[in-house]
A and B are shown apart, each in its own frame.
Chain A
Amino acid sequence: MKPAIKVLLFSFFLCSAALHLNAADKTFQSVQITIKTVAAGKQDSEFDPRLAPLEKQLKALNYRSYRLLKEETQTARWQGNANFEIPGGRVLTVRPQEVTNNQLSLRVQLKQGDKPQLETTVRMNNGGNFILGGPPHEGGVLVLSISATAK
């Protein structure tokens, strides 16, 4: 067999593998959601070393101290709710809706007791995160890092 034919056959095989991988991208079964609850304040300048991966994002908020209160990960099916308890009697509900072009659509609701405080739909990169902040907490505020990865 001529070398050029071998190269072409090899390329065809590789293309098939690439298409297979691309197709696998559309068969995510569930979404792993991680909520990091951070207390941010202006009293001192403590930065919790466990928040190092979020340092750049958090320091843009211009608070002086950042302390990780809680980190919780749950796996939710599509259109299923994942409920996270947030300090101050709050509950954050995250519902994965769909994934398109490696971007996840999440329905996020924050409640305090029975009172809804915020309801939003966010489209984010698979594996990415966004910040939800502002609820008061012990003289400072709560900052939530909401990340999601389709599995």
Chain B
Amino acid sequence: MNTCGEIRESIGAWLDGELSGAEADAVRSHLETCLICGEERRQLENLNRVMKDIFESEDFRLDVEPFWHGLRQRIAAKRPWHADLAEWAGPFIRAPSFAWAVPAVIVLLIGALYFGSILPGWGVLAPRNNFATVESIDAYGRNVALLREHESKTTVIWLYQNSDNENEGAGETSDKGPAF
């Protein structure tokens, strides 16, 4: 600690008695010989004196009694039930982080797949109608109609009887025309 710069940085600590013996001796001996650093010391001593006068003056006294009184009242006061409820439910009703939207979407997709596999037709990804596709059909010479009933979304295969009725069903008869 030889330069004026180092000494000036240490003057405050020296004035507060925070330096070790050797450091304090070095600062003291330098201040006795260096006018510039001595001026710095005087300014700091003046500043300390002014600050001390301010803190010790009557006008500066802080009136903390109202603060403590209010604090004691708040501690003693019973919390309303809705405040407890809000504190308990806070984590559940607070808006979730956007990052959780990713697993939330995945959970929804899994749910759709799961319910679609155990309850066919209930999954979100399941087709929304019940239409069946007829890939091939052979009515062995009889008339047959394929219908897609749109209200119930159902495929209907309707087998008409031949005009001679082929004596099917041991004399069973039915109305001839289409029933739709």
Contacts and interface: CB of A to CB of B under 8 A. Distances in A.
Contacts, number: 168
Interface stretch (B11-19, B72-80, B86-94, B129-137): B129-137
Nearest to A113: B168
Given A130-B156, A131-B154, A136-B161, A7 B121 contact: no
Contact of B144 (A3, A40, A118, A121): A118
Contact of A118 (B107, B130, B159): B159
B32 interface: no
B133 A124 contact: yes
Interface residues on A, range: 35 or more
Interface string A2-41: 0110010011001101100110110000000000000010
Interface in A93-143: 102, 105, 110, 112, 115-141
B174 interface: yes
Interface of A: 3-4, 7, 10-11, 14-15, 17-18, 21-22, 24-25, 40, 42, 56-57, 60-63, 88-89, 102, 105, 110, 112, 115-141, 149-150
